[in-house]
Amino acid sequence: MATAVRWDPPYLLYLGNAPDDLAAKTARGIAHWRPQHCIGQLSGSACQTTIGLPEMDIASAAAAGARTLIVGVANAGGIMDAETVATVIAALEAGLDVASGLHAHLADHPLIAATAARLGRSLFDARVAPATPVGNGRKRAGRRLLAVGSDCSVGKMYTTLAMEKAMQARGLKADFRATGQTGIFIAGGGMPIDAVIADFISGGIEYLSPAREDGGWDLIEGQGSLFHPSFAGVSLGLLHGAQPDALVLCHEPTRTHMRGLPHYPQPDLEACLQANLAAAQLTNPQARFVGIALNTAALDEAGAQAACAALESRFGLPCQDPVRMGCERIIDRLLAEFGH
């Protein structure tokens, strides 16, 4: 399976026929965190969302300098429909490379692969994991923070990206380490940890975040939740491989059940903190929590402030919504605990 190792900006972000906002979350994440790399969006014929960029067809985007079409839409099963395939082919014909985060790989589609080969274009599938050794749990140099979650899709990527931005603004060395397709597009690389072979989960994270000697922090994007019956294995292997010094718990306070599983309630946050800490301490006995990142998008301003204050008082940890309030107090705690 031939894949390019890089995909060049600027990007045209393809939204396909996303039926709702969440289906375009990859495109939206890229546009939010790397606006300087995004020159437009291309909606499919039945697209039901927008990410707020200028709508451009492929010819206009190519004329404006776009280098890569990114398929920024997700769907059940991660398949490529006929319209997506036609759009990818048209982009290749127009001179663009193409990147995708779908489970169905560009490089596995005969016509796409043949077209790219004929034209000398690059294809990049973010959900293809490089081969790595199995994890060994050996203590390695460097400082690592991991965002863990009470559930899937509660803001782990946004939290670690917000911390990277804020820490770099303070002149600190800090680097986001991506573990999902959206983060990989934003960071320019990473480890699609949900796509590795099960025996290599912790090894994949050891590979993603190796020993580091410059005193800086790796800020590792978590995935899933130890309390999500579908994906907890990924979360645990990630936690062990990350060997985190510092943990941030990410939580969405208005959820009534685990994402996608109406028959599972949300975990108690105290149990969630304890379970993550116990698991983390297997590979780093010094691991500790430095904050709670609350996703308050569903609350008004007063509600958001009250929710953060309540958790802060309950657990003695700084609690902020990184999108709404920044994450300065979580960083203050991190530096107070671990030094500059």
Identify which range of 52-60, 105-113, 155-163, 236-244 contacts its own copies by CB under 8 A. Answer: 236-244
Identify which range of 79-87, 167-175, 199-207, 330-338 contacts its own copies by CB under 8 A. Answer: 199-207
Binding test (CB under 8 A) with its own copies, winner from 55, 199, 301, 337 = 199
Q: In what order do the strands lie in the sheet with 123-125?
A: 38-43, 11-16, 68-71, 97-100, 123-125
Per-residue HEC secondary structure of 206-220 comes to HHHCCCCCCCCEEEE
Q: What is the DSSP pairing of strand 143-149 with strand 11-16?
A: unpaired
Identify which range of 1-9, 117-125, 188-196, 287-295 contacts its own copies by CB under 8 A. Answer: 188-196
Give yes or no for residue 132 binding its own copies (CB under 8 A).
Answer: no
Taking the complex as a whole, the smallest distance from the CB of residue 64 to its own copies amounts, in Å, to: 37
3-state secondary structure of 40: strand
Q: In what order do the strands lie in the sheet with 174-177?
A: 174-177, 217-220, 143-149, 246-251, 288-294, 319-320
Give yes or no for residue 98 binding its own copies (CB under 8 A).
Answer: no
3-state secondary structure of 243: coil
Binding test (CB under 8 A) with its own copies, winner from 19, 44, 233, 326 = 233
Taking the complex as a whole, the smallest distance from the CB of residue 233 to its own copies amounts, in Å, to: 3
Give yes or no for residue 76 binding its own copies (CB under 8 A).
Answer: no
Q: Please, are residues 145 and 160 in contact by the beta-carbon 8 Å criterion?
A: yes
Binding test (CB under 8 A) with its own copies, winner from 16, 29, 203, 222 = 203
Residue 149 CA: distances (Å) to CA of 156, 164, 247, 259:
7, 18, 10, 12
163 vs 239, beta carbon nearer its own copies: 239
Give yes or no for residue 240 binding its own copies (CB under 8 A).
Answer: yes
Give yes or no for residue 195 binding its own copies (CB under 8 A).
Answer: yes
Helix axes 110-119, 82-93, angle to 10 degrees: 0
- What phi, psi does 16 have (nearest 5°)? 55, -145
Binding test (CB under 8 A) with its own copies, winner from 73, 250, 275, 308 = 275
Binding test (CB under 8 A) with its own copies, winner from 16, 183, 237, 253 = 237
Q: Please, are residues 145 and 248 in contact by the beta-carbon 8 Å criterion?
A: yes
Q: What is the DSSP pairing of strand 217-220 with strand 174-177?
A: parallel
249: its two tokens = 């718990």
Binding test (CB under 8 A) with its own copies, winner from 236, 248, 319, 323 = 236
Identify which range of 143-151, 227-235, 310-318, 324-332 contacts its own copies by CB under 8 A. Answer: 227-235
Taking the complex as a whole, the smallest distance from the CB of residue 221 to its own copies amounts, in Å, to: 15
Q: Please, are residues 328 and 287 in contact by the beta-carbon 8 Å criterion?
A: no
Residues 2-61 that bind its own copies (CB under 8 A): none
Residue 280 CA: distances (Å) to CA of 52, 202, 243, 252, 311:
39, 12, 7, 22, 22
Taking the complex as a whole, the smallest distance from the CB of residue 301 to its own copies amounts, in Å, to: 35
Taking the complex as a whole, the smallest distance from the CB of residue 48 to its own copies amounts, in Å, to: 25
113 vs 134, beta carbon nearer its own copies: 134
**Could you list the residues that contact its own copies (CB under 8 A)?**
134-139, 193-199, 201-203, 226-227, 229-238, 240-241, 260-261, 263-264, 275, 278-279, 282-283
